[in-house]
Amino acid sequence: MKKIHLNATKIKAELELSELGDVYDTKLAGFHMRIGKRRVSFRLSYRNTAGKQQVITIGHLGALTPEQARDQATAMLGAVALGQYPQQEKKANKEQAVLLQQQTLDYFLEHHYRAYQARKKSGSQTVQMIERHFERWSNVPMQSLNRNQVESWQLSKEAEGLAHDTIQRVYGALKTMLNYAVKKGVLTDNPLKHVSLEKPPVSFDTDENDTDSRRYLSDAETMAFFSALDLYQEQRRKARVNSRAHGKAHLADLSNLVYVDHVKPWLLLMYYTGFRPGDLFGLRWEHIDLQSGSISKVIEKTAHHQSDTRNFPLSAKATDVLVAWHKQHKQPARGLVFPSAVTGKRMDKKAMQKPWGKIRTLAGLPDSLNLYTLRHNFASQLISKGADLLTVSKLMAHTNIQTTIRHYGHLVQNKAKEYLDCL
C-alpha cells in the first residue's frame, strides 16, 4: 500500500509518474486518492457495523483540493463513529432522487393519471389540457409547487390572452390531478390546496357586447339622464340636512359642494369620454393633464397584449367635470380619481350598478339600459357630428378598427344617405 501526504505538491509529483492505482494519505486513515486513466478521485475506506469494508467517493481533483477532500473525509469518519454510514446515506439519497423523479408532473401524468382519465368521457382532453398549459412544470416535483409558481403561471397565461374563466378551468384540472396523487399515496398532501388564483386585474365586463347596451340615448332620454343626476344630488342634500338636524351633526354639510359624492362626476365622465367602467375605476390624477385637457393611460381591458400608454383628448365639458372634482378634493397631485369612500382604495367592479339603477329610475329609463349605454352613446354622438370611424376607433380605445365598424358602421351608412341628398 503506497502512502504519501496527500497535498498539492506530492500529488503533482505522483501524477508525473503516470502510475494508476490507489495512494493513501499518511495523516488520515482510510483517506486516499485513486489515479485513473481519465481523472483522479478522492475516496474514503471504512468498515460498517458488520465489519465489511466500504469505499465511498468524496469528489474529484480539480473540483476539490486535497485539504477540502480530507476535511470531508474527517467529517464522514465522525459520522461513522456515531453509527451513520455515508454509503447508506448515499444510497438513500439516490432512492430519494428516484422517488422525486416519480413525483414530477410529467411522470405522474404519464404513469398514473392518463390511465385513470382514460375511463372518463372527456379524460383524454383533460390530460392534453394539463400537458399543454403546464408544459414548463413537466419536470418539477409536484410536492414543490407553491404560490409563487402559480402566480407566475397565471401572469403568463393572461399575457397569452387566455380568459380568466379558461385559466380557472385549467388550474382546477391541475388541482384535481394533485388530489388524485394524494389519494394514490404519491403525495402526502396537495401543495396547492390553499392556493387560489388572483382575481382578474381588471373588470372584463361583457356588458359592452349586450344588444341593449349598443343603443344610444334619444334626445328625450338624454335630457332625462341629466335631470336625474341633478335630482339625485338634490335628494342627497335634503337627506343630509335631515340627518344633521336629527343627531348626526358630525356628518359633512353637502349644501355647498358641487358634487355630493362620486356618482354624478363618474357618470358624466363616462358620458363625455366613452371610457369603460374599469378605466374609470382605475383612473388616477397622474393620468390627467387638466391644463391641456387630456388623459394618458394604459387601457386596462387590452393591457395584457397592448401595454403602451394612449392619449385621449377631453372635451371642455369633461375637463370642467374633472376640474371641479379636483378642486373639491383639494387638488391632489396623485391617487385614484374615484376611490372607494369606505376603503380609499379602488372601487369594486360592481360599485356603480346600484347608483346607475337609482339614476335610471329617477330618469324613467328602461331597466335594460346598462352602463355601457353611455359608452355606446358617446360613439354614436361622435358619428352623428361627422367623425370618421378611425377617429371613433381611437377615442373608443378599440384595438382593431373592425370592432368599430362592426358596432358602429351602420350609423355611418345612415349618414351616407344624408350626404347623397345634399348633392
Interval 214-257: pLDDT, tens: 678 889 999 999 999 999 999 999 999 999 999 999 999 999 99
| Mean pLDDT of all residues belonging to the chain | 86
C-beta neighbour count of 164 within 10 angstroms? 17
Pairing of strands 21-25, 3-4: parallel
pLDDT score for 161: 75
C-beta neighbour count of 121 within 10 angstroms? 8
Taking CA 192 as the corner, what is the angle to CA 191 and CA 194, rounded to the nearest 5 degrees? 110
Per residue in 361-374, pLDDT (tens digit) is 999 999 888 898 99
Per residue in 63-76, pLDDT (tens digit) is 889 999 999 899 88
Does the 207-421 domain belong in CATH 1.10.443.10? yes
- Does 395 or 411 have the greater pLDDT score? 395
CA-based diameter of the chain, in Å?
Answer: 114
Q: Is 310 exposed, middle or buried (0-12, 13-18, 19+ CB in 10 A)?
A: middle
DSSP assignment letter at 111: I
Q: In this structure, what C-alpha cell is assigned to residue 162?
A: 387566455
Tell me what the mean pLDDT of segment 135-162 comes to. Answer: 87
pLDDT score for 206: 43
pLDDT score for 243: 95
Tell me what the mean pLDDT of segment 115-140 comes to. Answer: 90
Task: Quickly state the pLDDT bin for 308 (edges 50, 70, 90).
Answer: confident
Contact 69, 58 (CB under 8 A): yes
Query: What is the arrangement of strands in the sheet containing 31-35, beginning at the earlier edge strand?
Result: 3-4, 21-25, 31-35, 40-47, 53-60
pLDDT score for 414: 62
pTM of this structure: 0.51
pLDDT score for 188: 83
pLDDT score for 211: 42
Cα 72 from Cα 30, distance rounded (Å): 12
Phi, psi values for residue 4, rounded to 5°: -145, 170
Q: What is the percent of the chain with per-residue pLDDT over 90, rounded to a whole number?
A: 49
Q: Which residues are within 8 A (CB) of 326 and not within 5 positions of it... i.e. 6 or more apart?
A: 285, 290, 332
pLDDT score for 317: 96
Closest listed residue to residue 56, CA positions, set 64, 65, 66, 47: 47
Task: Quickly state the pLDDT bin for 349 (edges 50, 70, 90).
Answer: confident
Per residue in 289-304, pLDDT (tens digit) is 999 999 999 888 877 6
pLDDT score for 6: 93
CATH H-level superfamily of 3-85: Integrase, DNA-binding domain (3.30.160.390)
Reduce the DSSP state of residue 21 to 3 states and report it: strand
Q: State the number of CA atoms in the 13 A half-sphere of 205 facing the CB.
A: 20
Length of the chain as a residue count = 423
Q: Give the amino acid at 314.
A: L
Q: Give a three-class secondary structure readout of 186-254.
A: CCCCCCCCCCCCCCCCCCCCCHHHCCHHHCCCCHHHHHHHHHHHHHHHHHHHHHHHHHHHCCCCCCCCC
pLDDT score for 212: 42
The residues spanned by each domain of the chain are 3-85, 103-183, 207-421
Q: Is 349 exposed, middle or buried (0-12, 13-18, 19+ CB in 10 A)?
A: middle
Tell me what the mean pLDDT of segment 75-92 comes to. Answer: 69
Cα 10 from Cα 61, distance rounded (Å): 13
